[in-house]
């Protein structure tokens, strides 16, 4: 038992040591941080709307609650000051004919309640402003206007956070692995993508970036160098009819960065394939982007995806997501270079070539047989 646990722990440590750092996680989050930013954080307050939208929910709700409670308490203090200056409080023993600025404010608690009623327009009718002092009337108008601004901004931020197209992107899923196999007589890298909603993404466009470390002829090392990867489907890579899962593929030709990779060497490569899907949400007309990434351990050479679309007896098309990321081993050339050489060799065999240096010479035969 101890030896088994030791082996499992050793294999776990070995796997963690081989684990590669990824720029983009499987769910599309970017693993990057900024250090020594010279510009002040005040620039983020200038674009306060985007800053609020980018905050996490716990921070957003903290700001939401603090904004309302803070404004209620602040104006409650101001109402208390107005009552104190006008000597409306019970400790001043006002006369029977005394008309207060605000009826029934007896202390800080009642001033806070009146501030709450004013800003959220509850209007219980027990406390109200009189026409005795202009200061109270001005404070009432100012709090009402400021309350509308706070309500509009905070409620708009909550609504925008809920309806962001980023949430729609969570219903677009990619296959766990990418596969490399032959498709249409060509060696291709294939990825499966599915839309979990029946509503479409309009004007969808799929493309990819291969991130790797390169060294320029001048000796400069470029980390996260980006190489364009073109993905297509049988109907093109734009204006996809994205109602059922699609298999997108990248043709590994001589212009592809995967051309010089082979089944035996792909795991030794250092790259990250980031795949993007851009589209417009049909319900809200907002644009969204879905992204994921694949490292060499997640690229399976010599496999294809299992079929997932079938037709029922009732005539409906059924998508079985149980086989969405399932792969099947198929016969595949171990490198793209070998596949193209094999095609060229077969083409030469069919076409045939003449050897211009070949000369036919006649040889006279002599017989040594004597009769």
- pLDDT single digits (tens) 228-262: 999 888 655 556 777 788 888 999 988 888 988 88
For residues 220 and 156, membership in a common domain is answered with no
pLDDT-derived band at 371, boundaries 50, 70, 90? very low
Q: What is the per-residue burial (b if ≥16 Cβ within 10 Å, else e) of 284-314?
A: eeeebebbbbbbbebbbbbbbbeebeeeeee
Sequence-ordered list of residues with C-beta below 8 angstroms from that of 33, at least 6 positions apart, any chain: none
Overall average pLDDT of the 300-328 stretch: 87
Checking if the pLDDT of 14 tops 60, the result is: no
- The answer to whether residue 102 sits within a structural domain is yes
Q: Indicate the number of domains in the chain.
A: 2
For residues 148 and 220, membership in a common domain is answered with no
Name the range with the highest mean pLDDT among 52-56, 140-144, 350-354: 140-144
For residues 118 and 174, membership in a common domain is answered with no
For residues 73 and 90, membership in a common domain is answered with yes
User: What pLDDT is stored for residue 18 in this prediction?
Assistant: 46
Length of the chain: 371
pTM recorded for the entire structure: 0.68
Checking if the pLDDT of 273 tops 90, the result is: yes
Overall average pLDDT of the 308-321 stretch: 83
Overall average pLDDT of the 77-81 stretch: 94
- The answer to whether residue 2 sits within a structural domain is no
For residues 299 and 336, membership in a common domain is answered with yes
Write the CATH number for 127.
1.10.287.70
- The answer to whether residue 27 sits within a structural domain is no
Q: Domain limits at 126?
A: 55-163
User: What pLDDT is stored for residue 116 in this prediction?
Assistant: 92
Checking if the pLDDT of 146 tops 90, the result is: yes
Q: Which of 128, 163, 198 is the last residue of a domain?
A: 163
User: What pLDDT is stored for residue 114 in this prediction?
Assistant: 92
Write the CATH number for 265.
2.60.40.1400
Q: Dump strand ranges (E) for the chain.
A: 172-174, 178-183, 186-195, 201-215, 221-229, 246-251, 271-281, 287-294, 299-301, 303-305, 309-311, 317-319, 327-329
Checking if the pLDDT of 149 tops 90, the result is: yes
For residues 113 and 141, membership in a common domain is answered with yes
Checking if the pLDDT of 274 tops 50, the result is: yes
User: What pLDDT is stored for residue 184 in this prediction?
Assistant: 84
User: What pLDDT is stored for residue 43 in this prediction?
Assistant: 74
Residue where the block lists tokens 């990819």: 208
User: What pLDDT is stored for residue 112 in this prediction?
Assistant: 94
User: What pLDDT is stored for residue 275 in this prediction?
Assistant: 92
Checking if the pLDDT of 364 tops 60, the result is: no
For residues 150 and 236, membership in a common domain is answered with no
């Amino acid at each position: 038992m101890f030896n088994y646990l030791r082996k499992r722990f050793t294999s776990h440590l070995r796997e963690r040591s081989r684990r590669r750092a990824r720029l983009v996680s499987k769910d599309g989050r970017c693993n990057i941080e900024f250090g020594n930013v010279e510009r002040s954080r005040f620039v983020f307050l200038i674009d306060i709307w985007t800053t609020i939208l980018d905050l996490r929910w716990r921070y957003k709700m903290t700001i939401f609650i603090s904004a309302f409670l803070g404004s209620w308490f602040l104006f409650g203090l101001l109402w208390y000051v107005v009552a104190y200056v006008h000597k409306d409080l019970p400790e001043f023993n006002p006369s029977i004919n005394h008309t207060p600025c605000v009826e029934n404010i007896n202390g800080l608690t009642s001033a806070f309640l009146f501030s709450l009623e004013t800003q959220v327009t509850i209007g219980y009718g027990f406390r109200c402003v009189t026409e005795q002092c202009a200061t109270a009337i001005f404070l009432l108008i100012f709090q009402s206007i400021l309350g509308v601004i706070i309500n509009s901004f905070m409620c708009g931020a909550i609504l925008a956070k809920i309806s962001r197209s980023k949430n729609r992107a969570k219903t677009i899923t990619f296959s766990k692995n990418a596969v490399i196999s032959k498709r249409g007589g060509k060696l291709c890298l294939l990825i499966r993508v599915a839309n979990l909603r029946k509503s479409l993404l309009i004007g969808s466009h799929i493309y990819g970036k291969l991130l790797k470390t390169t060294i320029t002829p001048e000796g400069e090392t470029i980390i996260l160098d980006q190489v364009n990867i073109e993905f297509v489907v049988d109907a093109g890579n734009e204006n996809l009819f994205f109602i059922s899962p699609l298999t997108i593929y990248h043709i590994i030709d001589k212009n592809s960065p995967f051309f010089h990779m082979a089944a035996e060497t792909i795991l030794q490569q250092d790259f990250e394939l980031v795949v993007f899907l851009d589209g417009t949400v049909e319900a809200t007309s907002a644009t969204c982007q879905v992204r994921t990434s694949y490292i060499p351990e997640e690229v399976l050479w010599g496999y294809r995806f299992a079929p997932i679309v079938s037709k029922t007896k009732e005539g409906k098309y059924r998508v079985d997501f149980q086989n969405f990321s399932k792969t099947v081993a198929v016969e595949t050339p171990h490198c793209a270079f070998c596949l193209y050489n094999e095609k060229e060799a077969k083409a030469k065999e069919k076409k045939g070539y003449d050897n211009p240096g070949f000369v036919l010479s006649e040889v006279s035969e002599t017989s040594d047989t004597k009769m």
